[in-house]
Amino acid sequence: MEKRYFGTDGIRGRVGTHPINAEFMLKLGWAAGRVLGQGGKVLIGKDTRISGYMFESALQAGLSAAGVDVRLLGPMPTPAIAYLTRTLHAQAGIVISASHNPYYDNGIKFFSAQGTKLADEIELAIEAEIEQPMQTVDSSLLGKAERVEDAAGRYIEFCKSTIPAVMEFKGMKIVVDCAHGATYHVAPDVFDEMGADVIRIGVEPNGLNINTECGATHPASLQKAVLDHKADLGIALDGDGDRLIMVDHTGEVVDGDELLYIIARSRQESGSPPSVVVGTLMSNLGLEQALKKIGIELKRAAVGDRYVLEMLQQGGWVLGGESSGHIICLDRTSTGDGIVAALQVLAAMNKSGRTLHELKKGMTKYPQRMINVKLTRSFDLEKYKTVQDAVQDAQAQLNGKGRVLLRSSGTEPVVRVMVEGADAHQVDSLAKHLADVVTHALN
């Protein structure tokens, strides 16, 4: 069956537009309680966008009406909610967040009792329940709500536990950009407690400034801060804390592909090399080649961290991620976690005695250009001969030394046009031409 509401990363959209409104969230909370939480408790956490207050209340009311107890976490990173769902033995965890999107968007993500994303059949069951008339349980069975006061402290201690206890970062100056998001009261404290000198930016959320010209999707402010403070490195997280981008001491951005390479190579040098690293269709060809040189295979999943996670679980592997900065270390936690991934990179620096700039040198990225073409209607790429002919022509011009990828985004109304190859000028030219062809086909 095709899902009506759930996409590749939960339910997401513009606040006030169905289904991202209070009425739907009330019904969603009730439906989720019927499917997931009866006889147990469900956690609710959120990022810092202003609409989170409204949706938190609506979900809480719906869950209570279904007879489910609620534990409120307040603003907490998405991976923290996954962790706390496991350790507090909840039936499920709910995240109110639109991740890296602007404040006027919001969304809902669910975690299972194991701290993993819900299986498709569970999401379909919730959607089926949404279509049923809402009925409130007897008053004696209504769910109760409590706030978890020590949620941040629990998660900070967990993050620190993912690297050796004897390791510390004294003498290291780090800029941490929290994107005015859910990590603002967590991430800086993690690195501070590990002994680093921490410069905090993006830690003043007002409900409207989440991800605005800051964080993992806008690293320019972090680059400037690293250079201004003569820091050893910078760490940028997105609004809900599951995405990581870093900046080395020279001001160069270190993306998710490079971070994956650094972590994989460090584990190999420590005597526990991964046989396989899972990337996506968007992972840079340079990552594939760099891993191959050190005896590690790159396997590509569909774009989206949930598909990376699925492939990791199916293959019994532990390390994967996306170039956008979703890094999954399944031997440390159950989902993508920006803070945990950053700690693995810092541990690699500590063990090797090398700078971040030196560690990334083992991988040379191929020039890659991606252009987003806005969608105004449903668009099946396979049905447009002009588009398919243009793709084949671009692939022929790359002559086996690059890749072309066209795909519809799972989180935004756009078609992503990506070209990758050895020649930056050729890559840029081909990407622009393909974007023009797609735009013409749409019109």
Residues 97-108 have pLDDT tens digits of 999 999 999 999
Give the Cα separation of 370 and 258 in Å (integer).
Answer: 18
Q: How far apart are CA 234 and CA 338, in angstroms?
A: 13
Position 410 pLDDT exceeds 90? no
- pLDDT score, position 38: 74
Strand order in the sheet with 244-248: 197-201, 173-177, 233-237, 244-248, 253-254
Paired sense of beta strands 244-248 and 253-254, if any: antiparallel
Same fold, 11-149 and 368-442: no
Q: State the pLDDT at residue 383.
A: 80
> What's this model's pTM, rounded to 2 decimal places?
0.91
Q: Per residue in 362-377, pLDDT tens?
A: 899 999 999 999 887 6
Of the options 3.40.50.300, 3.40.50.170, 3.40.120.10, 3.40.50.1970, the CATH number for the domain spanning 155-362: 3.40.120.10
Taking phi over 0 as left and psi of -120 to 50 as alpha, with beta for the rest, 244 belongs to beta
Q: Which residues are catalytic?
A: 99
CATH class of 11-149: alpha beta
What pLDDT does 389 receive? 94
Round to whole Å and give the CA distance between 236 and 156. Answer: 17
Q: Look-up: residue for tokens 């499917």?
A: 35
Tokens coding 120: 């498709």
CATH C-level class of 368-442: alpha beta
Q: What is the CA radius of gyration of the chain?
A: 22
In order, the DSSP letters of 184-227 are: TTTHHHHHHHTT-EEEEES----SS-TTTT-STT-THHHHHHHH
Model pLDDT for residues 71-82, shown as the tens digit of each residue:
999 999 999 999
| In the chain, where the domains are located | 11-149, 155-362, 368-442
CB 94 within 8 A of CB 71: no
Alpha carbon distance 393, 370 (integer Å): 18
